[in-house]
Amino acid sequence: MPMPDPIVVFDLDGTLIDTAPDLIATLNAILAREGLPALPYGEARMLIGNGAKAMLSRGLAVRAHEVPPAELDRLFADFIAHYSAHVADHSQPFPGLIDALDGLEAAGFRLAVCTNKLEGLSIKLLRALRLAGRFKAICGQDTFGIQKPDPIVLERTIIAAGGDPKRAVMVGDSATDVLTARGAGVPVVAVNFGYSERPIEEFRPDRIIGHFNELAPTIAKIVEAR
């Protein structure tokens, strides 16, 4: 029986795509509706991670605006509706991504996405950027009803893409991604240009890259070492 192709599984926000401009614009639109001041870009960028609801909750907390759970659910629905309409207004792949994906595909790797973004929004964003067809699976926090850092979501993403966790590498930008990969026994490459609220070095990924032109040779070294 032939071995499955090796697979690289990417986080989405802050790893593949710089989604901060559209996420922050959406957050500030919701804050404005609540009569709250907008958050500066640099401050709001640090709130991204673990899904839109977490970002919204953090944004409200920064403005000391407490809401009951039902109200947070309403605001979250408003956030998703606004963001869905503006999901790719200003979001763009990080520099060097397209060439990196080309190189990995040419080397025989399958590609997949494992994100805490909702699956529908993830697919919509990647389609708008003409990238969706590159990935054998695009799985979000609602795909399996679990989310990172639970390693099961990564394992199921790999399987959904036709891969094998023993022949997988994860690429992410945060502690959540490192913890997810560690739990699944998968090596992890971290980018240092994402949305981590602390220096990514502190979370001890297997490798760190500062540009996507480093990705293919870095993954090759990991695969060779295994």
The CATH 3.40.50.1000 portion of the chain extends over 7-18+91-225
Q: What are phi and psi of 141, to 5 degrees?
A: -65, -20
Could you count the other beta carbons within 10 Å of the beta carbon of residue 31? 21
How do residues 194-209 score in pLDDT, each as one tens digit?
A: 999 899 999 999 999 9
The CATH number of the structural domain formed by 7-18+91-225 is 3.40.50.1000
Helices (H), 34-68: 41-45, 52-62
How do residues 15-59 score in pLDDT, each as one tens digit?
A: 999 999 999 999 999 999 999 999 999 999 999 988 889 999 999
pLDDT of residue 224: 84
pLDDT of residue 1: 54
Give whole-number Cα distances, 116 to 48, 101, 141, in Å: 11, 21, 5
Q: What are phi and psi of 121, to 5 degrees?
A: -70, -35
- For range 183-202, the mean pLDDT: 96
- For range 131-135, the mean pLDDT: 98
Order of strands across the sheet with 7-10? 137-139, 110-114, 7-10, 168-172, 188-191, 207-209
pTM greater than 0.85 (yes/no): yes
- For range 92-102, the mean pLDDT: 98
Q: What are phi and psi of 111, to 5 degrees?
A: -125, 145
Tokens in use for 22? Answer: 């559209």
Q: Of 11, 13, 173, 177, which residue is the catalytic one? A: 11
* Closest to 60 (Cα-Cα) out of 80, 83, 34: 34
Question: 20-85: what CATH class?
Answer: mainly alpha
- Catalytic residue check, 11: yes
| Residue that has been written with the tokens 């060097």 in this structure | 96
- For range 62-67, the mean pLDDT: 93
The CATH 1.10.150.240 portion of the chain extends over 20-85
